[in-house]
Amino acid sequence: MTLWACLCAGDILLSRGPDGYALPAGDEAPVALQPWNKVTTLRLPAAACDALHVVRLDRPVTGSPGLEMMALRASFDVLSERDYALAGKAAELIYWDHNSKYCGCCGAPMRFETEISKRCTECGKELWPQLATAIIVRITRSTSSSTHDAGDEAILLVHANNFRRPYYGLVAGFVETGESLEEAVRREVREETGLEITDIRYFGSQPWPYPCGLMVGFTARYAAGEIHLQRSELSSGGWFTRADMPPIPGKSSIARRLIDDWLCGGATTT
């Protein structure tokens, strides 16, 4: 089976049928294409499909029965896990292709060498897609003198200036050159909130194709300090118990997975 990931700006083309939404499938493209629209073809037998054609559309598709354009983020709620993962990978490749037309060493045109690499047509420099690694951390603290009641806990939630909706999320930031993931967690928490943390533990990770990231999630415990928000990054924030939670991110994010895990008793007091 051949799948098509056709994107225009931040939207992806989906097929809509009785069983819901999916990436369009078939030997032929779901819409008329020009030679320059096709970016690359991925051979992905492990993903239960023979190939994925990655396509950059010139304009959104409208008026085609059975086809619908949808924001990539919104598609998480309607696509299968496999299709959303493939859509995100395609979006990252389109972004990388657009930003790697010319060699950074000599300025000559770059050409695809493999499905996910390019080679300079003059100096031979090779190039692969780059990921921007970011950390996100759930910080909890005890709200009572008891060290045994996991219900007596609070979670640190913040509202970032770049949030488009009025929800509260977790402290996050990009990993800098020369630092470990754990060092990035401590630095971001200290910079954005003024707090010191301990007991940093890996939770999980998530590809974040907005446009080409990898979000690595951690949990940690409050150690010391008072909250002093970095106003250039955060507009508000504080400690919240399970009984007084504010609006939180949608199900598509690892932030929500971290918060839901805590709401279900995933954290333990120390």
Q: What is the pLDDT of residues 21-37, one digit of tens each?
A: 999 999 999 999 999 99
Q: Is a pLDDT exceeding 60 seen at residue 147?
A: no
Q: Is a pLDDT exceeding 60 seen at residue 148?
A: no
Residue 176 confidence (pLDDT): 97
Residue entry with tokens 């779901």? 30
Residue 6 confidence (pLDDT): 98
CB 91 within 8 A of CB 56: no
CB 195 within 8 A of CB 189: yes
| Banded model confidence at residue 1, pLDDT cuts 50, 70, 90 | confident
Domain topology for 132-263: Nucleoside Triphosphate Pyrophosphohydrolase (3.90.79)
Q: Is a pLDDT exceeding 80 seen at residue 76?
A: yes
Amino acid identity, position 94 = I
Distance CA(237)–CA(60), nearest Å, equals 38
Distance CA(75)–CA(267), nearest Å, equals 30
Residue 145 confidence (pLDDT): 54
Q: Is a pLDDT exceeding 80 seen at residue 149?
A: no
Residue 164 confidence (pLDDT): 80
pLDDT tens for residues 216-225?
999 999 999 9
The CATH 3.90.79.10 portion of the chain extends over 132-263
Per-residue burial over 1-34, b = 16 or more CB atoms within 10 Å of its CB, e = otherwise: eebbbbbbeebbbbbeeeeebbbbeeeebbeebe
The CATH 3.90.79.40 portion of the chain extends over 2-98
CB 134 within 8 A of CB 210: no
Instruction: Kindly tell me the burial class for residue 88, based on how many C-beta atoms sit within 10 Å of its own C-beta (0-12, 13-18, 19 or more).
Output: buried
CB 142 within 8 A of CB 151: no
**75-89, 119-133, 199-213, 256-270: segment of lowest average pLDDT:** 256-270
CB 128 within 8 A of CB 120: no
Residue entry with tokens 């098509």? 4
The class level of CATH for 2-98 reads alpha beta
Residue 150 confidence (pLDDT): 52
Amino acid identity, position 49 = C
